[in-house]
């Protein structure tokens, strides 16, 4: 066993041992036990450093691979590291862009505005005019955020990843990792790492999002200065505004928080049900509220997609869920790959119906999407029903959107936005000529039976 492997093993063991009293040494209710060990695991990941924080962040958007208690606990993981000296970051910029820093930027601030395990961000201004692919020209002097991949970041994280594989192999042999599909999670981590290390991917997705919402006056993404970008450098418009943790300041400045919360939920519905691609990693650090009352979306590292054939089924599941129809929700979930075996359908249907009543249909109280999602995923886990990857990501994204909306306006009920949006989409689908032609014979047979009776 290497020294690092020993450190990793001891760290997890120590934190799990500390969780035993909270879990009443295994005698607490199942949800309490899971929550205690999920928190212990998060603390261990944070102590072990950047690679393990990134691994936990990947896990936080994969409820198909990770138990729901862990998914929502891992949302709290903080990816913060000590910043590198500005001289090292400047060297990366000059090497990648092939020009001295003074020919690219004025007022390059040596103190970073953010520092994480993969990259750190510095504020600067453009020396000369830049024409972005999407949006108006960025004149000389435009404030920009320069995101730079930290040198040696890939090597450090991959070394820790190799150690994590060894540790998880040991846990598998001991039967201690049954609740988490570790091999699949590590593959997801490797793919996410490869994508994040090429910052051009983030720039392309950001531009696509900007194009999708070019006519929406309440949504924006930073303009990308492609002449100042490379695999390891991404230069984008610097956006002034308030993070969601500062929303009270925004409200005092005249921002209509309720309108933005409702509109943000509708933007998500449009991404999933109309456009077929959606920001799947929304959290307070990835959103700003601007002084002119817009929502600014950042960091498109994790993006979900939906195919045209899936979208109507998603709309049906969403509508059935917010209207409290467990039968319909499970029926259309099966069309999306979440199939409950026949011998478990009655039990699952009853539990899902009870869950809807407790979380979504309580008079005088906003629907609790997170409570429903956590319970729903637990019901499926108890019934040993596999969660398709896309379905799990969508559930997690919907929960995150609720959290974001409530951070902007705490009393919001996003089902009030979801109901009309999903209903309109279903109605439009059913009114298509091909759907009418498909259903007409059955409708005529039913009418004839009624007349003959």
How buried is 252 (Cβ within 10 angstroms: 0-12 exposed, 13-18 middle, 19+ buried)? exposed
Exposed e or buried b per residue across 284-315, where buried means at least 16 C-beta atoms within 10 angstroms of its C-beta: ebbbbbbeebbbbbbbbbbbbebeeebbbbbb
Q: Are 212 and 297 in contact (CB under 8 A)?
A: no
Distance separating alpha carbons of residues 312 and 290, to the nearest angstrom: 33
Given 207, 212, 281, 413, which residue is catalytic? 281
Q: Are 277 and 293 in contact (CB under 8 A)?
A: no
Q: Where are the beta strands (DSSP E) in 69-118?
A: 105-106, 114-115
Q: Is 281 a catalytic residue?
A: yes
Q: Which strand ranges, in their side-by-side order, compose the sheet holding 295-297?
A: 219-220, 295-297, 287-289
Task: Give the angle 258-269-381 at the CA atoms, nearest 5°.
Answer: 105
Which tokens sit at 13? 């063991």
Distance separating alpha carbons of residues 191 and 168, to the nearest angstrom: 18
Of 93, 55, 49, 95, give the one whose Cα is nearest residue 74.
Answer: 55
Q: Count, in order, helices (H) and strands (E) of the chain.
A: 18, 10
Which residue reads 């994969």 in tokens? 62
Q: How far is CA 249 from each of CA 81, 155, 253, 403, 410, rounded to the nearest angstrom?
A: 28, 41, 6, 19, 15
Q: What is the DSSP letter of 214?
A: T
Q: Are 37 and 16 in contact (CB under 8 A)?
A: yes
Give start and end residues of each alpha helix (H) in 98-152. 101-104
Distance separating alpha carbons of residues 149 and 153, to the nearest angstrom: 7
Residue 447's contacts (CB-CB under 8 Å, 6 or more residues apart) are none
> Which run of H or E residues covers position 295?
strand 295-297
- The residues carrying an active-site annotation are 281
């Amino acid at each position: 066993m290497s020294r690092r492997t020993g450190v990793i093993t001891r760290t997890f063991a120590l934190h799990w041992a500390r969780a035993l009293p909270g879990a009443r040494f295994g005698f607490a209710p199942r949800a309490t036990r899971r929550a205690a060990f999920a928190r212990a695991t998060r603390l261990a990941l944070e102590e072990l450093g950047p690679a393990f924080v990134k691994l936990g962040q990947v896990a936080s958007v994969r409820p198909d691979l990770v138990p729901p208690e862990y998914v929502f606990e891992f949302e709290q993981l903080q990816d913060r590291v000590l910043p590198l000296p500005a001289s090292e970051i400047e060297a990366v910029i000059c090497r990648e862009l092939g020009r001295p820093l003074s020919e690219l930027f004025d007022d390059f601030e040596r103190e970073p505005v953010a520092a994480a395990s993969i990259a750190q961000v510095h504020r600067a201004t453009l020396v000369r005019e830049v024409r972005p692919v999407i949006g108006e020209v960025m004149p000389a002097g435009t404030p920009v955020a320069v995101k730079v991949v930290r040198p040696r970041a890939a090597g450090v994280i991959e070394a820790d990843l190799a150690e994590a594989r060894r540790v998880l192999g040991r846990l598998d042999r001991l039967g201690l990792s049954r609740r988490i599909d570790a091999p699949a999670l590590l593959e997801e981590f490797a793919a996410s790492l490869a994508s994040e290390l090429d910052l051009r991917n983030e720039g392309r997705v950001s531009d696509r999002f900007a194009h999708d919402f070019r006519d929406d006056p309440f949504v924006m993404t930073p303009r990308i200065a492609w002449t100042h970008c490379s695999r390891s450098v991404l230069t984008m418009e610097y956006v002034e505004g308030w993070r969601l943790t500062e929303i009270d300041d925004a409200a005092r400045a005249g921002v209509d928080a309720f309108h933005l919360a409702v509109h943000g939920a509708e933007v998500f519905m449009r991404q999933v049900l109309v456009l077929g691609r959606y920001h799947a990693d929304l959290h307070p650090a990835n959103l700003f509220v601007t002084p002119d009352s817009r929502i600014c979306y950042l960091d498109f590292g994790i993006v979900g997609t939906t195919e045209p054939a899936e979208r109507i089924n998603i709309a049906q599941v969403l509508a059935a869920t917010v209207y409290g129809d467990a039968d319909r929700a499970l029926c259309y979930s099966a069309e999306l790959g979440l199939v409950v075996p026949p011998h478990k359908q009655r039990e699952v249907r009853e539990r899902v119906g009870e869950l809807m009543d407790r979380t979504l249909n309580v008079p005088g109280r906003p629907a609790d999407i997170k409570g429903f999602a956590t319970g729903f995923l637990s019901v499926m886990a108890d019934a040993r029903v596999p969660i398709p990857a896309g379905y799990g990501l969508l559930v997690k994204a919907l929960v995150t959107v609720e959290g974001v909306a409530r951070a902007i306006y705490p009393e919001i009920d996003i089902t009030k936005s979801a109901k009309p949006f999903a209903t309109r989409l279903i109605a439009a689908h059913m009114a298509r000529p091909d759907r009418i032609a498909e259903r007409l014979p059955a409708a005529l047979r039913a009418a004839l039976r009624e007349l003959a009776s």
